[in-house]
Chains A and B, each alone.
Chain A
């Protein structure tokens, strides 16, 4: 099953490599990973999506917690949560495809953020499956380039991951 694991960690050199190294070393899978400092510049927030049995996920959270640089770990998928991913997708936009891409982007609430005579670049935000659906709808034939940030997420309501 897919899990979104959020990690609050010291914003120290080498901290990210310890997390990534742990996944490689223990044969855990990483589907996406995103990391940036928080409002407190001494802390970074890392989000990793991974697949695994309950036993594997339990090990992942425990092993992450063991890292000295890691302050807190939460498996967001254990409760109600919000997840978002941002994608920028560059498409061949010629002839009637120009209007088609615009329409599809509107339906998906995407924005065209760069235009040339032959290309559109669409920015799209949402849960990962929405981004997948956009790609599927337009078909790979028109896609020139895709870049995705990986998933970020947090719990709904009052629940927070902080010190």
Chain B
């Protein structure tokens, strides 16, 4: 049998797992592993400029492909810098394997140089973690790490490896395990048929049904199944922030995103529904608004792979634990074979009501209250120029909500954002992670002048690996979402939400060897954007000046029901 050192086993196991790229940053505890990396060509390493970016790149790769991304970071500060990225993936249930170096095993606990208890530090934000105690265990631990990260409700897994476990002088038999079996971990592979039948009986009795679908449809590869069932039933579909693209955004049955900044029609439909079919969504606080006032007339069917998500905040009338893909398939076949169908008259009048709501607000925004460009106009233009077909990787803030509202996603896995944790600085490395794996696709980072500066150093990584992403920076000179809350709740006292001394982003991009463009007038936008996207092999940073006074609407009134919304600065439901 082949003899490998622990360090070589790490890299070989990744290769055997089918990993093409890993994202990382070397350091003392990883030197043996980096040496093993140097002596092979199968696994390509991407050297980031900050470990947080490595985790976001791995995370975005996973969001775009459904397969676990891999980050490699050293002990101590390398590991702690990765924690934000791990927490980001954890909150959004993204499969990721993060390999962290650790000090020599005999030094653990002695406050050695660059020692951090990474298992302890990361514990609340991982699906699981492993600490390598014997080098022979490395192949099985890595196999288990991928299995756990990718199956069931996905999530990040940390593998902490003390330096002496990777010593080049100690060699062991290497065989990568073909399968893994764990008595304590058996994720469900199908939903309970009785529950599914009960649920569909209820659906077919409904007069005002809504499908509320989340990120579980994206990561569960169930977009086609969701679309088929929804169209078979002719019922409205709303997506969560994490679920956008799970149902075609330009389809008539799509009523938009729901929740805090959801569309008027989506939130109204939810509030008035008599049945909610929730699939791969978790009724989080940004969706439900006040839980005591949530959808008073609705019966709730909740499909989720994670039993702990069901009835956590909102009690489900029919809980179904199972993978979205399988459950939706079974639901579709039940409907196809059922004599009972939805009552046509009821559904027609439900649609009439929804279309009326859609007509009343329909995502309009004013362009006449300022001579500045509106951020919404930029996103609409982006949607137009990219044909609604780009991978859009967003940072966090107003621009994220505008992108979610105005970019029409027709395909899953194309909207990539930090929904749960809301991590500023996510967008740029995320775009890089996607572009490296889909070099022929358009990959955009939608950001603001606040978020982009949280991982701006990655412009250097982009130069090194020539990753021609496009950055659309909606520059309003302030932390827009913070400012909006201050306008609405703190009598416009803009405490620390204004950034003085912004860099000249055009020159900054150029300093890193990229193309910088500044756009200040809407008349120039289309030409500039078209030009930017025509530069296929260049990274282009578009610094776009937008109205600093614009707010994101609709916005739910805190602790109200789904239908309690501000529709503009002056208009309330």
Contact = CB atoms under 8 A, between A and B. Distances in A.
B185 A13 contact: no
A62 B148 contact: no
Given A13-B131, A21-B124, A25-B124, A68 B308 contact: no
B182 interface: yes
Given A55-B311, A62-B308, A63-B308, A68 B148 contact: yes
A38 B312 CA distance: 32
A68 B127 contact: yes
A45 B175 CA distance: 34
Contact of B184 (A25, A58, A68): A68
A105 B311 CA distance: 47
A7 to B, nearest CB: 11
Contacts of A25: 124
A71 B124 contact: no
Interface residues of B, number: 20
Given A66-B306, A68-B182, A70-B184, A14 B311 contact: no
A18 B184 contact: no
A85 interface: no
B308 A9 contact: no
A18 B123 contact: yes
Contacts of A66: 306-308
Q: Which of A25, A59, A63, A68 has the most CB of B within 10 A?
A: A68
Interface string B120-137: 100110011101010000
Contacts of A55: 311, 315
B116 to A, nearest CB: 15
Contacts, number: 38
B184 A10 contact: yes
A9 B183 CA distance: 10
Given A55-B311, A58-B311, A68 B185 contact: yes
Nearest to A13: B131
Contacts of A58: 311
Interface string B304-327: 001110011001000000000000
A163 interface: yes
A137 interface: no
B119 interface: yes
Contacts of B306: 66
A65 interface: yes
A140 interface: no
Contact of B183 (A14, A65, A163): A163
Interface in A89-103: none
A71 B186 CA distance: 10
A9 B184 contact: yes
Nearest to A63: B308
A18 to B, nearest CB: 6
Nearest to A70: B184
Contact of A71 (B127, B131, B184): B184
B150 to A, nearest CB: 14
A69 interface: yes
A68 B123 contact: no
Interface string B94-133: 0000000000000000000000000110011001110101
Interface string B505-516: 000000000000
A55 B184 CA distance: 24
A163 B131 CA distance: 25
A116 interface: no
A17 interface: yes
Nearest to A10: B184
Given A71-B183, A71-B184, A17 B308 contact: no
Nearest to B312: A59
A21 B119 CA distance: 12
Interface string A51-92: 000010011001101101111000000000000000000000
Contacts of A163: 183
A57 to B, nearest CB: 12
Contacts of B308: 59, 62-63, 65-66
Given A68-B127, A68-B148, A62 B184 contact: no
Contacts of B120: 17
Contacts of B312: 59
Nearest to B313: A55
Nearest to A69: B184
B312 to A, nearest CB: 6
Contacts of B315: 55
9 contacts: A14-B119, A14-B131, A17-B120, A55-B311, A66-B307, A68-B182, A68-B184, A70-B184, A71-B184
Interface of B: 119-120, 123-124, 127-129, 131, 133, 148, 182-185, 306-308, 311-312, 315
Interface of A: 9-10, 13-14, 17-18, 21, 25, 55, 58-59, 62-63, 65-66, 68-71, 163
7 nearest CB pairs, A to B: A62-B308, A68-B128, A71-B184, A25-B124, A68-B185, A21-B123, A62-B307
